[in-house]
């Protein structure tokens, strides 16, 4: 199908539909309606599996709605655009971004250098609908299917808000640069934007999935002198070392809390920066408490299950530690994702090693989810 024959018309395509929590996705033929005003319909070329998808599928997301189409880390080609869309056109290559960037002069978030959290479509995105309050997906019986994170890329076609589309170099391989749609960008940005790690800093990274490895990669590129990689699966240590870790710690084999091991044995006073990439609130506490007395900063990246809370003794903060968090690594999506792709294209930001599993066809998405659960998968990319 070409945009000239499909523009303005519904498209029927294959999609993997999440009908209920804790159930396998079902392969269905769905209808994808044309884009409305300010919207873009895209053909999904490749989609990478992220733990956030599994988090929702497992029923841990308080905003999780069913039935829905999951997926948010993809590379796409614009098929058609709705009324008023000016920043992309049919044929353009884009990466959908769950953190939009409206760029409007009156948006204090987009205009501030302090944040990337544009709230323009946050309320509707969280409800699984497009900005006008309706959906663009229907199942075989004509029933609506919810959107997910403003992306829904486990479908051969999807509809996005224009402000969620990062236009990228057409020469970039979409089955690689799709990783910049979430995990890799999040880890790199936590280092470069949120914490601004300096040359010769010491760093500890908890959790060695794709996000944790991206933190390590970013820290090495920033010039960190010591990078401590922490996990309970030693099988992840070789990849961490390859990315730049100088030390590895199996927290399950210690006879003391891991924070006491890092701040006391591996370092005299703790690390300058620590990063939680696990979503485990106890690990978040350990990451904070291994931060350097007087100036250490700990960054929460992992998303905890609904209802969980973080805690520590106030003394940890009184004695100079800073606890902060990040979403999408602080990157302003439409401005910064194209720049990340450019760095990849010039060889300055390699990301191929994150892709450990590849699958062909949207119908193999359940296999990709199984791979993600296996423990030896960083990113599984499904090519459509």
Q: How far apart are CA 172 and CA 110, in angstroms?
A: 27
Query: Does the annotation count 311 as an active-site position?
Result: no
Distances (CA, A) of 45 to 11, 33, 311: 16, 19, 42
Query: Does the annotation count 158 as an active-site position?
Result: no
Burial tier of 220 (Cβ tally within 10 Å: 0-12, 13-18, 19+): middle
Query: Does the annotation count 110 as an active-site position?
Result: yes
Quick one: CA torsion of 127, 152, 301, 218, rounded to 10 degrees?
Answer: -150
Query: Does the annotation count 60 as an active-site position?
Result: no
Query: Does the annotation count 73 as an active-site position?
Result: yes
Angle 136-141-142 from CA coordinates, rounded to 5°: 30
Locus of tokens 């990040």: 326
SS3 call for 244: coil
Alpha-helix runs per DSSP H in the chain: 3-6, 51-57, 108-111, 122-125, 174-177, 183-189, 210-222, 237-243, 258-262, 281-289, 314-318, 333-345, 365-373
Catalytic site residue from 68, 76, 165, 182: 182
Query: Does the annotation count 102 as an active-site position?
Result: yes
Catalytic site residue from 41, 51, 285, 292: 51
Alpha-helix runs per DSSP H in 319-377: 333-345, 365-373
Query: Does the annotation count 122 as an active-site position?
Result: yes
* Beta-carbon contacts of residue 238 (< 8 Å; ≥ 6 apart): none
Catalytic site residue from 60, 68, 97, 118: 118
Query: Does the annotation count 379 as an active-site position?
Result: yes
Please report how many Cα atoms fall inside a 13 Å half-sphere around the Cα of residue 251, on the Cβ side.
Answer: 21
Catalytic site residue from 28, 39, 73, 162: 73
Q: How far apart are CA 210 and CA 203, in angstroms?
A: 17
Catalytic site residue from 39, 41, 50, 68: 50
Query: Does the annotation count 182 as an active-site position?
Result: yes
Catalytic site residue from 13, 68, 76, 102: 102
Query: Does the annotation count 2 as an active-site position?
Result: no
Catalytic site residue from 13, 39, 52, 60: 52
Cβ atoms of 31 and 10 within 8 Å: the answer is yes
Query: Does the annotation count 72 as an active-site position?
Result: yes
Catalytic site residue from 97, 110, 290, 377: 110
Catalytic site residue from 41, 72, 93, 261: 72
Catalytic site residue from 26, 31, 103, 107: 107
Query: Does the annotation count 107 as an active-site position?
Result: yes
Catalytic site residue from 26, 31, 115, 122: 122
Catalytic site residue from 147, 334, 357, 379: 379
The residues assigned a catalytic role are 50-52, 72-73, 102, 107, 110, 118, 122, 182, 379
């Amino acid at each position: 199908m070409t945009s000239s024959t499909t523009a303005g018309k519904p498209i029927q395509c294959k999609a993997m539909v999440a009908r209920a929590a804790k159930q396998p996705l079902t392969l269905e033929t769905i209808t994808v309606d044309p884009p409305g005003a300010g919207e873009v319909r895209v053909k999904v070329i490749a989609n990478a599996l992220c733990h956030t998808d599994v988090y929702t599928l497992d029923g841990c997301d308080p905003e999780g709605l069913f039935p829905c189409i999951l997926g948010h880390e993809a590379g796409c080609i614009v098929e058609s655009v709705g009324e008023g869309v000016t920043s992309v056109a049919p044929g353009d290559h884009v990466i959908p971004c769950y953190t939009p960037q409206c760029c409007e002069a009156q948006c204090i978030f987009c205009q501030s250098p302090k944040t990337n959290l544009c709230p323009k479509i946050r309320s509707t995105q969280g409800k699984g609908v497009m900005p006008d309050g309706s959906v663009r997906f229907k199942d075989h019986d004509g029933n609506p299917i919810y959107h997910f994170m403003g992306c829904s890329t486990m479908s051969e076609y999807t509809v996005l808000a224009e402000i969620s589309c990062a236009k990228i170099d057409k020469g970039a391989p979409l089955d690689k640069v799709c990783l910049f749609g979430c995990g890799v960008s999040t880890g790199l940005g936590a280092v470069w934007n949120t914490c601004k790690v300096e040359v010769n800093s010491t760093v500890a990274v908890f959790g060695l999935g794709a996000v944790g490895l991206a933190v390590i990669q970013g820290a090495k590129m920033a010039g960190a002198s010591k990078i401590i990689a922490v996990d309970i699966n030693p099988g992840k240590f070789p990849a961490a070392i390859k990315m730049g870790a100088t030390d590895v710690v199996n927290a399950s084999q210690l006879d003391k809390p891991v924070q006491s091991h890092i701040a006391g044995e591996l370092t005299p006073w703790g690390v300058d920066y620590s990063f939680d990439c696990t979503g485990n609130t106890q690990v978040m506490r350990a990451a904070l408490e291994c931060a350097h007395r007087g100036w250490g900063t700990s960054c929460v990246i992992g998303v905890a299950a609904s209802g969980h809370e973080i805690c520590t003794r106030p003394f940890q903060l009184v004695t100079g530690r800073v606890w902060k968090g990040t979403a999408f690594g602080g990157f302003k999506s439409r401005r910064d994702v194209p720049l990340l792709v450019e760095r990849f294209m010039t060889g300055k930001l390699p990301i191929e090693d994150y892709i450990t599993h590849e699958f062909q066809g949207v119908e193999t998405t359940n296999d990709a989810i199984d791979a993600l659960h296996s423990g030896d998968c960083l990113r599984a990319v499904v090519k459509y």
